[in-house]
Structure 1
């Protein structure tokens, strides 16, 4: 641990224990106020601006995380009660489980950074350990959510474009397999980070204790492996999934407009004809219309989910592109503070999306709404309220 003097007599800056922390963080201790704060090295934001923004984002993010955990827990419970005979229920359940896990991982990261910020002494370096026990998993699981959303959008596109063949193409078993492959290719590579970094016990002379910390493995293979895995899993996969969701959502919106126009024209034509009695052909046409409307509601639900995902994921795409284009926009560069704040801001999009999805399910799916109301006993409460009145 190194001690550096600054221009101000009342401030002492301490470097953290390992090489990664030495590049990332500095501890500033204000003896006049008898308090310490964790900040990053000099960058785009000033000390005061960084501290204010950092704390505001941490508390805001945790509030949204709590909402996401509750909302996705309820969604998972409802989908389990609905069963998995429908392929859409399988994919939506997988999406809810991933959103729930993301919220839990973000909660762990927030707790670790909050502990580090307030310089709370623990038997491990909370900020660094969280990178290997939550940060990396969260980043890769975000890609999993993107690909599951892409799969759901693509599935609905097939239902619209090839409705006669989709039953054979999209089956419950096939959906399970597809979700498993998505998780295997997107989330499982997160454990490859242990090739580049490892846990070590480091002696802290200021506390006179040994604490758990992380250090980078500086072998050529580990560094090359990290660069390749980041390009593939951190840039190519998320941007490709985002592009698929964007294209499929556009196709679904166009098709929905066509269906609405066709239904309006058919309704207009029927209103001009007088049909005193409903013949079998008319009954068959009405049945088809009902089926079509059911499919349309499902498509609209998928479009709403995909639209929320697109809106929440656009900042992530911009963040990744800036990381690739600008050399100094990273955790070690000149704009390291801006990089950290931006990373936390874009992480708000995921729990917001996960929290809002349950509202879409409740609004657009009658079966989901019915089971949800029974689960939280809304019908019973309304019945008791009417009896009291």
Structure 2
């Protein structure tokens, strides 16, 4: 879908998405207030630079998304075979399902933008339709993943802090209910954005055909509802989940160090043949820090998952804050090109995190490793 050059009648081989006159979002904007900012922004990235960078990031993102889709599909298959008698299997499966959904949505959005860049003639406006069917759900799903990861970390904190009561506090049924509540409060509100936008058939003068596209509903109530839902579910909720996850991860690391110190002291005491009655301090610390080695391995696995998620999610948090603080940094604002390129870069973090999780499961969970090897027939290959 090529556009006319501003200075002449020649067309540019690079689709300047921010200059498309058939873009309904573009038509709804008022550029009279930010014409200077648009001029400055257009000088930061030319059409050619924007095209090359965006296309390169699309290819990179697609490769990572495919890895995430394959990895999380295998993880879900393994957890299904393991069963859901353990609460941790339920929450980890929910995390894998959300990571898989994120990979699918990202793949769909990248495909639509690729079609737009290459001027593929389709019966729908790929850029606008993908925004409403994939791009707009992305921050909400990121919030869901953040809350599920925070829930998993909080669950492990309870296992360490109150090991004798955790069986009554964390049950498979309660964990399943918790996953449903998280999804309902974080991801499902994304569908309310259809109050703000709707699908319509519009005439495309470049193709000389009527195609499916989207237009915004410019009522004050719809605009207010969109801002409130995005601010709460797309910004406040993920940042709050990120804070809870960070606190729980720090607590888990501190408790793991205490457990390691306690185990070393117990080993030293046994080597010196000291009876527990002769060392009441050791018994007291044992009562506070004692968890099974199986639980300790699970805690270490959760710490690894949470740490990778925190590192990968920090750029996304910065982007969310930029969207809230700087209006011109929005998807269709004056600095839309910088916003698009930045979004491509920051959006790579979570698919990478979702792809790495299966490696952590394989390395740190013996049951997962055993079922995974049987699933992909590795054991039979070694025996052969």
TM range (shorter): 0.7 to 0.9
Query: d(CA) in 2 for partners of 1:228 and 1:264?
Result: 52
- Kept in 1: contact 2:69–2:104 (CA 8 A): yes
- Kept in 2: contact 1:44–1:334 (CA 8 A): no
Query: d(CA) in 1 for partners of 2:54 and 2:294?
Result: 46
Change (3 A) 1:71 1:362: same
Partner of 1:362: 362
Partner of 1:60: 60
Change (3 A) 1:255 1:130: same
After TM superposition, list the pairs within 5 Å mapping 1:1-389 onto structure 2: 6-7=6-7, 10-11=10-11, 15-22=20-27, 42=42, 44-273=44-273, 292-384=292-384
SS for the counterpart of 1:328 is: helix
CA deviations over 1:26-56 (Å, ceiling 9, x no partner): xxxxxxxxxxxxxxx8263233332221111
Change (3 A) 1:43 1:145: farther
CA deviations over 1:193-224 (Å, ceiling 9, x no partner): 10000000011233221100000000010011
- CA deviation after TM superposition for structure 1 residue 231, in Å: 1.0
Moved more, 11-20 or 140-149: 11-20
- Kindly report structure 1 stretches of 4+ aligned residues shifted beyond 6 Å: none
- Kept in 1: contact 2:23–2:128 (CA 8 A): no
Change (3 A) 1:379 1:291: farther
CA deviations over 1:265-303 (Å, ceiling 9, x no partner): 11122122399xxxxxxxxxx9xx996211110000000
CA deviations over 1:64-116 (Å, ceiling 9, x no partner): 11111111111000000000000000000000111111111111101100000
Query: d(CA) in 2 for partners of 1:11 and 1:109?
Result: 25
- Kept in 1: contact 2:163–2:291 (CA 8 A): no
TM-score by length of 1: 0.87
Change (3 A) 1:362 1:149: same
**Where does the alignment leave 5 or more consecutive residues of structure 2 unmatched?**
30-40, 276-285
Query: d(CA) in 1 for partners of 2:70 and 2:44?
Result: 36
- Kept in 2: contact 1:68–1:351 (CA 8 A): yes
Query: d(CA) in 1 for partners of 2:44 and 2:143?
Result: 28
- CA deviation after TM superposition for structure 1 residue 160, in Å: 0.7
TM-score by length of 2: 0.88
SS for the counterpart of 2:331 is: coil
Cα RMSD between the aligned structures?
Answer: 2.4
**Where does the alignment leave 5 or more consecutive residues of structure 1 unmatched?**
25-40, 276-285, 385-389
Change (3 A) 1:191 1:93: same
Query: d(CA) in 1 for partners of 2:55 and 2:205?
Result: 29
Query: d(CA) in 1 for partners of 2:123 and 2:4?
Result: 25
- Kept in 1: contact 2:26–2:332 (CA 8 A): no
Change (3 A) 1:157 1:183: same
Query: d(CA) in 1 for partners of 2:54 and 2:61?
Result: 10
Change (3 A) 1:43 1:351: farther
Query: d(CA) in 1 for partners of 2:205 and 2:151?
Result: 52
- CA deviation after TM superposition for structure 1 residue 246, in Å: 0.3
